[in-house]
Amino acid sequence: MRMDTSKNFSDRLIAWQRRHGRHDLPWQNTRDPYRVWLSEIMLQQTQVATVIPYYLRFLGHFSALSDLAAAPVEDVMALWSGLGYYARARNLHHCARTVQGDHGGAFPQDPLALAGLPGIGRSTANSIATFCFDAQAPILDGNVKRVLCRAFGIEGFAASAAVEKRLWALAEELMPRHNGPLYNQAQMDLGAMVCTRSKPKCGACPLDDICVARATNRVDELPQRKPRKLVPEREATLLIVLDEQGRVLLETRPPAGIWGGLQSLPELPVTADPVSWSESRLGCRVTAVSPAPTFLHVFSHFRLRITPLVLQVTEPTMMMEPGSHWLAADELARAALPAPVRTLLTQIVGSKSLLSRKR
């Protein structure tokens, strides 16, 4: 690529950003690495509209990195509940403690040092370094990949190692020597607002007349999508165990795997009888079993068909497995629950027919 092509590309984007880009998002107009880092982690694979309320709520509880580092991980998971991709929350907490303990509470300014922190990859590190420390470092999130693949007609699946290597080389070549924050923000905004995955607004794009995908009528084809695979479906029976005080039995999920570190409902083994299994495990007497409607929850790599069973129990004992505990209905709003479990409990706890107890 010639230097004039690179300059033309960046100049167009910067001019467009100044006139049409986003300027009032909660994490903009700040050079505070803590706030920029928090937004970058939350925005990974998540839409801006979804992130904003979580971002503001997080800052309401943890206004500074030191507050987040000092908090129990359970509090962090509770605030993250519903945002998905929960490894981000665990890495967020780990990173806060690492920066607080190993770097005196200040994020390093070098992109390579930033990329070595928990949960921070190359693109996120470059973004923090650019917006907070005036680095001229390229980024390569999903929006940027889409813009580059279309503008330069890059073939192949964008997340594959070979294509990503090529995109990084192109991103470095296109990076201007000045106005790094404006340029990087322009790429993200163009991908989010104009060069969208479906129904892009090509007529409003500053690259319209130089876009290879536009010229070859391949906007809908680029970037090429990952070859579709059959999404496996799994099944699980979740137990909503309610005692005579209306408390719900919850379990802490293992750190790894789905809903890692969150509070969830006991899962009934495939061949187990719910009454005998629950009585043996909990040391309580099951007085009623009520089925609730089966529903489907979709993860990124499989679908989970959930069958809920509501169990009324009496005489619960403390002979429970580690990580199990009873929670009152009015405490559920503050618990670190996966989104489908929260929805399910909201429906069940609000249903008088399922919560009617023997008098």
Catalytic residues, by residue number, are 40
For the chain, the 3-state helix, strand and coil shares in percent, each to the nearest 5, are 45, 15, 40
E strand or H helix at 268, and its extent?
strand 267-268
The type of residue at 280 is S
Q: And the tokens for 144?
A: 């940027």
User: Per-residue DSSP letters for 155-208?
Assistant: -SBTTSHHHHHHHHHHHHHH--SS-HHHHHHHHHHHHHHTS-SSS--GGG-TTG
* Distance separating alpha carbons of residues 33 and 187, to the nearest angstrom: 20
Q: Is 291 helix (H, G, I), strand (E, B) or coil?
A: strand
